Amino acid sequence: MTESGATMPALIRPMLATPGELPGPDQEERWAFEMKWDGVRAVVYLDEGGVRILTRNDREVASTYPELAGLGDGALRARGVVLDGEIVAFDTHGRPSFGELQARMHVQRPSAQLLADVPVSLLVFDVCFLDGESLLRTPYVDRRAALVDLDVNGARWATPPAFDGDGAAALAASKAQGLEGVLAKRRDSVYEPGRRSRNWVKVKHIRMQEVVVVGWQPGGGRREGGIGSLLLGVHDDEGRLVYAGHVGTGFTDWMLDDLMARLRPHERKTSPLATEVPRAQVKDARWVTPALVGEVAFGEWTRDGRMRHPVWRGLRPDKAVEEVVREA
């Protein structure tokens, strides 16, 4: 079902997936499977007015990723289309690298050298609006067919394949390629803007968690005078910001310098957390007003609600502090 003659919407917030497991073999025919890409979610609007690129928290980032402007040079712009996808940077092995992308995420007008050193690509996996028609109520399988017909493939953009049937095989293939996991999507599912839906399920090889930076502890040794570890929080079921642990690994020197510059303006004297923090972390803690969202990989949750063996992956400027909750 489409809404014919509609005006292109100014904002379509991306539909979100729920963490979970692969559907059982007896349910697989109802699902399609896509690779999960390690980047920044982006909704791209193409029409005669040009190209707009909005992140999950409605930030306009077309100037941050100017190599994607070429999407508006061809037939897509004349047709009027809204695409959903992921902006990624690839490492030397051709795998999406969130670490590489960090160098681009915060730069509003990248230099020619940075564009050459860390190029990005847009991987498109859905279409929400096309030729004056809203496709939000159109089943996934039909939206996917429309996307394939658009042939969104070029030097800096592509439409990766989706797979029917064998979810275990898709998950194994993603692991073999060094990817994050897979997304299972019900073939009959409509597009639900801004909603985290059980009709889309993300299945990851490793646990990852969005976190709010609530403070830091000074470092020692080669980190003397800088950040030794970050203190982290997540929102609980009651909406309170609670302590989730601390992370001291996974940083590059550039990341630590950048974090220090971003945290300094937010320093405060008291903890912003609704729960107590262990004495070892309270000692010498430098608290900050919650403003920065990051992401960590970790082993498991402890009984007291802290992440075991977290490793820092990077900042997530595309995520809002209020959105950060503990993932199942």
Q: Annotate 50-100 with three-state secondary structure.
A: EEEEECCCCCECCCCCHHHHHHHHCHHHHHCEEEEEEEECECCCCCECHHH
- As a whole number of angstroms, the distance between CA 22 and CA 286 comes to 42
Question: Contact, 132 vs 74, CB < 8 A?
Answer: no
Question: Contact, 184 vs 203, CB < 8 A?
Answer: yes
- Per-residue tens of pLDDT for the chain, all 328 residues: 334 567 889 999 999 999 899 998 889 999 999 999 989 999 999 988 789 999 998 999 999 999 999 988 877 877 899 999 999 999 988 889 988 998 898 899 999 999 999 999 999 999 999 999 999 999 999 999 999 999 999 989 999 999 988 899 999 999 998 898 999 999 999 999 999 999 999 998 888 999 999 999 998 888 778 899 999 999 999 999 999 999 999 999 889 999 999 999 999 999 999 988 888 778 889 999 999 999 999 988 988 889 999 999 999 988 899 999 998 6
- As a whole number of angstroms, the distance between CA 246 and CA 249 comes to 10
Question: Contact, 71 vs 79, CB < 8 A?
Answer: no
- Tally the C-alpha atoms within 13 A of residue 324's C-alpha that lie toward its C-beta: 30
User: Measured at the alpha carbon of residue 250, what is the angle toward residues 292 and 200, in degrees to the nearest 5?
Assistant: 65
Tell me what pLDDT residue 2 has.
39
- As a whole number of angstroms, the distance between CA 115 and CA 106 comes to 13
* Residue tagged 């809204």 (tokens): 82
CA distances from 251 to 178, 229, 258, 325 (A): 21, 9, 11, 23
CB atoms within 10 A of CB 244: 27
In this structure, the strands spanning 50-54 and 40-47 are: antiparallel
- As a whole number of angstroms, the distance between CA 189 and CA 164 comes to 14
Q: State the amino acid at position 20 in one-letter form.
A: G
Of 63, 69, 155, 71, the closest CA to residue 105 belongs to: 63
- As a whole number of angstroms, the distance between CA 183 and CA 171 comes to 9
Q: Residue ranges of the domains in the chain? A: 16-204, 207-323
The fold of the 16-204 domain, in CATH, is D-amino Acid Aminotransferase; Chain A, domain 1 (3.30.470)
Helix (H) or strand (E) holding 253: helix 253-263
Helix (H) or strand (E) holding 214: strand 207-218
Phi then psi for residue 327, to 5 deg, are -85, 145
Tell me if residue 185 is catalytic. Answer: no
In this structure, the strands spanning 121-130 and 81-88 are: antiparallel
Q: Which two tokens stand for residue 291?
A: 């403003």
Helix (H) or strand (E) holding 255: helix 253-263
Give me the catalytic one of 36, 202, 204, 319: 36
In this structure, the strands spanning 157-158 and 286-288 are: unpaired
Tell me what pLDDT residue 88 has.
96
Question: Contact, 252 vs 285, CB < 8 A?
Answer: no
- As a whole number of angstroms, the distance between CA 279 and CA 156 comes to 49
CB atoms within 10 A of CB 299: 12
Q: Which two tokens stand for residue 68?
A: 């994607």
Domain 207-323 has CATH 2.40.50.140: yes
SS3 state at 265:
helix
CA distances from 190 to 79, 94, 163, 175, 275 (A): 22, 32, 18, 28, 39
